[in-house]
Amino acid sequence: MNVPVPNNLEAFWMPFTANRQFKKAPRLLASASGMYYTTADGRKLLDAAAGLWCVNAGHGRREIVEAVAAQIGELDYAPAFQMGHPKAFELAARLTSMMPKPLDHVFFTNSGSESVETALKIAVAYQRARGKGTKTRLIGRERGYHGVNFGGISVGGIPTNRKFFGSLLTGVDHMRHTHDIERNAYSRGQPEYGVEFADELERIIYLHDASNIAAVIVEPMSGSTGVLVPPKGYLERLREICTKHDILLIFDEVITGFGRLGTPFAVDYFGVVPDMVTTAKGITNGVIPMGGVFCSSEIYDAFMTGPEHAIELFHGYTYSAHPVACAASMATLDIYANEGLLNRGPELAKYFEDALHSLKGLPHVIDIRNIGLVGAIELRPIEGEPTKRAFAAFLSAYEKGVMMRTTGDIIALSPPLIVSKEQIDFLVSVIADVLKTLS
Ligand SMILES: Cc1ncc(COP(=O)(O)O)c(C=O)c1O
């Protein structure tokens, strides 16, 4: 199918894109089904990125399309402030039943960035609500990605996402990242070395004093900066330290949520339960924007004081628990459950791992790492021109029929969870071809 290409690409200021380069040679997607996109010029592209880490059940799922269409006909919008609609409550109950205790409440947002802002605000307000109003500082981590709003870039650890935007949020500190290619290159699953990186949190707490710290936020597996898998014991150690110092631990599961690691959530994979979990993306299979922040009843209950007619948390969005998003999410959860997609780890992760690691030894490759259905191939950067080599790989793969994602000089792979072994083979053979021809 060829679709008409607009003759003016100028007006749309594209996000996180090299606009001038893109507009000279646009890569336009026209349709999608299952594991594939079709480009505007009629070429089929294997989606090795689940869109943008979100289309976990594959594209064009009829059940979601129908649920969304029906919902728009039935109740197109309902305000979420001082009003409600049944599906919001039904979805919240369903989602929280998927989470370990005590994460039994969920606050709805419209994106990962909003989930992060919401979690940070709840953390600070919670400390105040329980009489610990000095606990306001937030601790993030280098190479963390928590979306693009001011709170998220402040606790985040990506220099380019921070340096243009002024003084950011005050009262934030960062732990070092856990990427240690010298000791952990070519790890399969969790790397052996690096549990001690968690101890840096003790040092930071000592510096600021626990009485001033509200929360620590990390991605259990950092996706956007190149699939940085936590070293063995690291998350457990963070949990211990936070508990010891009465500091909230927030896991940002915007990528790891909904099956990416081969378990429903990273909390299941690692067996570590934080006080809050931020989600988005796979919550609706990427079809309708939605996010959710899970929190413990202890946090929720801390707000449920004061007169009953009074609003307890002065926070929320016009589109929180949007009925169409709720319908999309419920249909998505049905697909995940019916097809066992959130637990494909044991069945497929090993195959994916072996396929990826078969690329070891190809030109430019300096590390390969993986966990569940996510993997990364790190390339040696071109001297003085960081990111250029991986971007060239991205363009070459696009020409060869694969849409993948690159970040820095790292190829990141996160196919929809419906991917077949044959499709994994194709993906890896295209990457091998790309690497062999790359300068
Ligand atoms: C861990 C994490 N947090 C937050 C976000 C931001 O999500 P959104 O782009 O939906 O705002 C992302 C997006 O990739 C993410 O990976």
Ligand 1 pocket, 161 CB below 6 A? Answer: no
Ligand 1 pocket, 145 CB below 6 A? Answer: yes
Lowest mean pLDDT among 3-12, 25-34, 249-258, 373-382: 3-12
Domain boundaries, the chain: 19-61+342-437, 66-339
Q: Which of 37, 140, 13 is nearest to 397 (CA)?
A: 37
| pTM score over 0.95 | yes
Which pLDDT value is given to residue 315?
98
Backbone angles phi and psi of 11, in degrees to 5: -65, -35
Number of DSSP helices (H) and strands (E) in the chain, helices first: 16, 15
Atom nearest to 289 CA in ligand 1 = 10
Q: 104 Cβ partners below 8 Å, 6+ apart?
A: 96, 296, 297, 300
List, edge to edge, every strand of the sheet that includes 36-39: 29-33, 36-39, 44-47, 402-403
Confidence of residue 217 (pLDDT cuts 50, 70, 90): very high
Question: For 217, left (φ over 0), alpha (ψ -120 to 50), or beta?
Answer: beta
Q: Residue of the nearest CA to atom 3 in ligand 1?
A: 146
CA distances from 104 to 109, 127, 238, 295 (A): 16, 19, 22, 6
DSSP 36-68: EEEETTS-EEEESSHHHHT-TT-B--HHHHHHH
Ligand 1 pocket, 113 CB below 6 A? Answer: yes
Ligand 1 pocket, 286 CB below 6 A? Answer: no
- Residues 233 and 260: beta-carbon distance below 8 Å: no
pLDDT digits (tens, 9 = 90+) for 171-209: 999 999 999 999 999 999 999 999 999 999 999 999 999
Architecture of domain 66-339: 3-Layer(aba) Sandwich (3.40)
Confidence of residue 2 (pLDDT cuts 50, 70, 90): low
Please choose from 16, 113, 229 the residue to mutate so as to test ligand 1's pocket, defined by most ligand atoms within 8 A of CB: 113
Atom nearest to 281 CA in ligand 1 = 10
* Mean pLDDT within 288-305: 97
DSSP 81-148: SS---HHHHHHHHHHHHTSPTT--EEEEESSHHHHHHHHHHHHHHHHHHTT-TT--EEEEETT----S
> What is the C-alpha to C-alpha distance for residues 61 and 439, in angstroms, rounded to an integer?
39
Q: Which amino acid is at 139?
A: I
CA of 291 to the centre of ligand 1 (A): 10
Ligand 1 pocket, 229 CB below 6 A? Answer: no
With the C-alpha atoms ordered 49, 156, 378, 178, is the resulting torsion angle positive or negative?
A: negative
Ligand 1 pocket, 146 CB below 6 A? Answer: yes
Beta pairing partners, 139: 173, 216
Atom nearest to 112 CA in ligand 1 = 7
Atom nearest to 224 CA in ligand 1 = 16
Which pLDDT value is given to residue 279?
98
pLDDT digits (tens, 9 = 90+) for 42-51: 999 999 999 9
CA of 399 to the centre of ligand 1 (A): 27
CA of 437 to the centre of ligand 1 (A): 32
Class of CATH domain 19-61+342-437: alpha beta
Please choose from 255, 256, 285, 287 the residue to mutate so as to test ligand 1's pocket, defined by most ligand atoms within 8 A of CB: 255
pLDDT digits (tens, 9 = 90+) for 403-432: 999 999 999 999 999 999 999 999 999 999
